[in-house]
A and B are shown apart, each in its own frame.
Chain A
Amino acid sequence: KQEVTQIPAALSVPEGENLVLNCSFTDSAIYNLQWFRQDPGKGLTSLLLIQSSQREQTSGRLNASLDKSSGRSTLYIAASQPGDSATYLCAVGGGGNKLTFGTGTQLKVEL
């Protein structure tokens, strides 16, 4: 059974700082990995999708990497802003298009 863990569970940084969120998974036989953002009481916004054959994806200030063999992914956020404050979830895509979600990292970017 796939298990997905995210570290840290919570993170508070000053505005402008670069930061890295970590995601690890136990079964390397994945189809893809997706990073999401969730604001309080809201649904999920897809940030980046990395296929199993890819090493990284970039969108604006976000960069996600994938090391399938070691079961790890990182989400790098450059020049953080208060508007980046949210919970970030990684999800591993397996057979049947099913996603297994991590526990999330709650990010707070302070002025």
Chain B
Amino acid sequence: GAVVSQHPSRVICKSGTSVKIECRSLDFQATTMFWYRQFPKQSLMLMATSNEGSKATYEQGVEKDKFLINHASLTLSTLTVTSAHPEDSSFYICSARDRQGGSQPQHFGDGTRLSIL
């Protein structure tokens, strides 16, 4: 089945550091990928939609200069948390949908646990 690989799985770093998270579709091409954020015991909240070859679309309240998204190929999207602070600590999950669309479900990565000290 379709596999989405997310890397790294866990990051612990100091406040002020920028952190890059990668999301790869391993056996299919994805023109669209999605980035979610999940706080403890809460559900997933969509942050932005990553579009291959064009700018990402951010949800209301999400700072685009804070969360930089690059979708340079049909199999890779990256999320960079710039100058991260403790309040950015969260679980970040990406998903991708096969470009063939239709009735294809979204496939999710295993997530990245980000902890800012």
Interface residues of A (CB under 8 A from B): 32, 34, 36, 41-46, 49, 51, 89, 91, 96-104
Contacts and interface: CB of A to CB of B under 8 A. Distances in A.
Contacts, number: 54
Contacts of B108: 36, 43-46
A97 B110 contact: no
B110 A43 contact: yes
B103 A51 contact: yes
Interface residues of B, number: 23
A49 B105 contact: yes
A42 B97 CA distance: 19
Given A96-B49, A98-B49, A46 B44 contact: no
Contacts of A42: 110-111
B103 A49 contact: yes
Contacts of A46: 105-108
Contacts of A89: 43-44
A98 B32 CA distance: 10
Contacts of B42: 103
Given A98-B34, A99-B34, A43 B49 contact: no
B58 to A, nearest CB: 12
B64 to A, nearest CB: 17
Contacts of A41: 91, 111, 113
Interface in B85-117: 91, 93, 95, 97, 103, 105-111, 113
B6 interface: yes
A104 B43 contact: yes
Interface string B1-33: 000001000000000000000000000000010
28 contacts: A32-B105, A34-B106, A41-B111, A42-B111, A43-B108, A44-B44, A44-B93, A44-B108, A45-B108, A46-B105, A46-B106, A46-B108, A49-B103, A49-B105, A89-B43, A91-B44, A96-B49, A97-B97, A98-B34, A98-B46, A99-B34, A99-B46, A99-B95, A100-B46, A101-B43, A101-B45, A103-B42, A103-B43
